[in-house]
Amino acid sequence: MNKIVIAIDGYSSCGKSTMAKQLAKELNYVFIDSGAMYRAITLYFLRNNINLNDSAVVENALQHIQLQFAYNIAEGKSDMLLNNENVEAAIRSMDVSNNVSAVAALEAVRTFAVAQQQQMGKAKGIVMDGRDIGTTVFPDAELKIFVTADVDTRVQRRLKELHDKGNTDISFEEVKQNLLSRDYIDSTRAISPLRKADDAVLLDNTNLTREEQLNIVLNLVMERASGK
C-alpha cells in the first residue's frame, strides 16, 4: 500500500492526538503532534519573559530554539525536546495552555514551525495533528480529517487527562474557559486560522468509542492509499 500523508485538524481536546497516535501505530507511520511544537515555543517564551508585541525580540528568541521529537517506547509516542531538554510534562501545564494560542498566532512563530513540519512530511507515511495541517502545512495531503465533539464532552476528556496526570485542583469551568478561549483565538487569528479544509472529512466523535473512530478512519486510509 502506498504511504500517504494524513492531516488531522480540529478544536482543542477533541481527541485528535489520540486518534493520530492510534492510526500511526496501526499503519507504522510517524506521528507528529504539531501542537507540542507551539507549546514548547510557548514554554521557552514564558521562561525567558519574551514580549510577544516586540517582533524583533520574538525573531531573536526563535533563533535560540531547537525542537526535536524523541521516541518514548513506554508511551508509544514521541516526547517533545526543547533545546535537548525533555519538556513533555512541562508543556501540558495550565500556564502553557493559557498562553499558547497567543504565541501560535504570531507570524514568525508559524513560519518557524510550519517549515519544520513540512520537512517532516517529505517522506510521507506521516500522521500530523493540529489546527492548520490540512489547510497550510499539507494542503495536498491524501487524507484530511476535521475532528469535532460536543464542548462538555471535550472538557470531561481533558479533565480526565489532567486528573490522570495528578492535576486534581483544576475545575470543570476553568478547563472549559481555557478550551473555549483557545478555540476562539485559534479560529479567528489572521494567519492560518483553524478551519475545515474544503476537502476534509468531518468526523464528530462525541458518541464514538476510540475503536469505532479508528475503524472509520482506517477505512478512509485504505480508500485513499489505494488511490480511490
Close Cβ partners of 150 (under 8 Å, ≥ 6 residues apart): 206
Q: Is 49 exposed, middle or buried (0-12, 13-18, 19+ CB in 10 A)?
A: exposed
Q: Which residue has the cell 492548520?
A: 132
For residue 35, the minimal CB distance to ligand DC (Å) is 3
Residue 137 or 220: the one with the smaller Cβ distance to ligand DC is 137
DSSP 8-class letter at 67: E
Q: Strand (E) positions, the chain? A: 5-10, 30-33, 67-72, 77-82, 85-86, 126-130, 143-148, 201-204
**Cα–Cα distance measured from residue 62 to residue 113, given in angstroms and rounded to the nearest whole number:** 10
Q: 201 or 225, CB closer to ligand DC? A: 201
Binding site for ligand DC (CB under 6 A): 12, 34-35, 38-39, 100-101, 104, 130-133, 182, 186
- The DSSP output letter for 200 is P
Q: How far is the CB of 227 from ligand DC (least distance, A)?
A: 27
By beta-carbon proximity to ligand DC, the closer residue of 41 and 217 is 41
Question: To the nearest whole angstrom, how small is the minimum distance from the Cβ of residue 69 to ligand DC?
Answer: 14
Give least dist CB 12 to ligand DC, A.
5
CB closer to ligand DC, 195 vs 225: 195
Could you tell me the smallest distance in angstroms from the CB atom of residue 157 to ligand DC? Answer: 12
12 vs 213, which CB is nearer to ligand DC? Answer: 12
**Which set of grid coordinates corresponds to residue 87?**
519538556
Instruction: State how far the Cα of 158 lies from the Cα of 1, in Å rounded to an integer.
Output: 35
